[in-house]
Amino acid sequence: MKLKQLGASLLVGSLWLSSAAYGMSSPPSIQSPTELANAQGVQASSSSDAVNGLAQGCYAIQSAEHGTYLKKYYKGGAIDNGLGYRFEVVSQQDATHFFMKPTSMSHFLLTDKDGRYFASHLPAEISAGRYAGEFAEWQISAHDNGSGEYNFKLKGTALNMDVRHHFTDKHMYFFDLLNPFNLNSEDSFRLIAQNDCTAFPEVTTNVSGDANVLKGDANQAVRGFIDPHTHITSYEFMGGKMMHGKPYHRWGVEEALQDSKIIHGPNGALDIIGNLYTFGDVNNRYDTRGWPEFPYWPNHQQMSHMGYYYKWIERAYLSGMRLMVSDLVENEVLCKVQSTVNPASWINPNSCDTMDSIRLQARRLKEIEAYIDAQQGG
């Protein structure tokens, strides 16, 4: 009798697992024919153009199989205020619209109107994240779906796995122990262009004019001005802890130009070299806040804060700058002093060796170029 009962229990458990794995508990939701007809996917000349062209764009994420849209909802729990995303039968207008901010070529942060990130968290779940980082970064790839459009896959940087949509419970996931073959699911999605996203926080150029006049004529002389002496990569010299700020950061301006107290201490008290060289006074103090207030820096006097953020360089270009020379420099003596007197330099400083520093700075220039290319769509 006990053996029969055990066999029956195993059978019931097996049927339950099969039911869950095959998603047979309820039929999947399918979008209305009208909504499907009105959805225009991404068209491009190549898969790389399809991906790069997403830069700075606004999109709704649609199920390629059923036409439902990804929408933010309250799923409960303490993580990210209990907010997540799932596919629902809603219109394009009511779907969540994501702004595509490139972090590098083919990698993006996706943010909704409330500034929440399409993100993941351990143990491999999707949520409406609050912060930029590897758990909110996605490598996007595209493939021709055979109808003149491109569908897209999203691979999470932190987990290095493609995210999938389960048709039955509508949510997105990376892996399912009860469904190892990913039955009743998809990992390819349509992106439907929208026009009402909240842009990712960024410095504006604050200029206006006819951009066509900037294109020039290859048969004519170049008109504009030259900045022959700059130090774009100076944030990496003197151990990388003397100059605060960076010309870009993959997580955006909030990281690139954050409060300088993390390097210079409260009120700039540890900005010893900067205060001495600029003001001749080691006791000089200032407001260290950066983006978005900038109450003190950057300014024409100070020497220890970033003045070459890539959007500021763009502003100079829009104003007529056509050539910019970036010098790579190092000062081993001051580097060793900085590495000694500033506690921020005690943890993981750059090498004070001149050639090590020069090679690092040369590599950073190439990285800055690649980042700017990604922002412009390749």
pLDDT at 5 over 50: no
Q: How far apart are CA 369 and CA 365, in angstroms?
A: 6
Pick the CATH number of 27-193 from 3.40.50.12280, 2.80.10.50, 1.10.10.10, 3.40.50.2000: 2.80.10.50
Nearest residue to 71 via CA among 94, 40, 55, 50? 94
Share of the chain above pLDDT 90, in %: 77
278, two tokens = 């600029």
Average pLDDT score over the chain? 90
DSSP tag of 42: B
pLDDT at 267 over 80: yes
Lowest mean pLDDT among 89-93, 340-344, 350-354, 360-364: 340-344
Q: How far apart are CA 154 and CA 333, in angstroms?
A: 47
Mean pLDDT of 262-274: 95
Mean pLDDT of 307-315: 97
Phi/psi of residue 369, nearest 5 degrees: -60, -45
Residue with tokens 């590599």: 363
| Predicted confidence band of residue 28 (pLDDT cuts 50, 70, 90) | low
pTM of the prediction?
A: 0.88
pLDDT at 14 over 60: no
pLDDT at 6 over 80: no
| Predicted confidence band of residue 351 (pLDDT cuts 50, 70, 90) | very high
Phi/psi of residue 326, nearest 5 degrees: -110, 115
Residue with tokens 């590098």: 104
208, two tokens = 């206006």
| Predicted confidence band of residue 250 (pLDDT cuts 50, 70, 90) | very high
Mean pLDDT of 88-98: 96
- Contact predicate 111/154, CB 8 Å: no
pLDDT tens digits for range 35-55: 776 789 999 999 999 999 999
Q: How far apart are CA 7 and CA 4, in angstroms?
A: 5
Q: Which amino acid is at 350?
A: N
Amino acid 274: pLDDT: 92
pLDDT at 22 over 80: no
Q: How far apart are CA 233 and CA 186, in angstroms?
A: 44
Task: Specify burial of residue 361 (Cβ count, 10 A radius: 0-12, 13-18, 19+).
Answer: buried
Q: Which residues are CB-neighbours of 342 under 8 A, at least 6 positions away?
A: 241, 242, 263, 270, 272
Indicate the domain borders of the chain. 27-193, 211-375
Phi/psi of residue 64, nearest 5 degrees: -70, -25
pLDDT at 23 over 80: no
Mean pLDDT of 150-178: 95
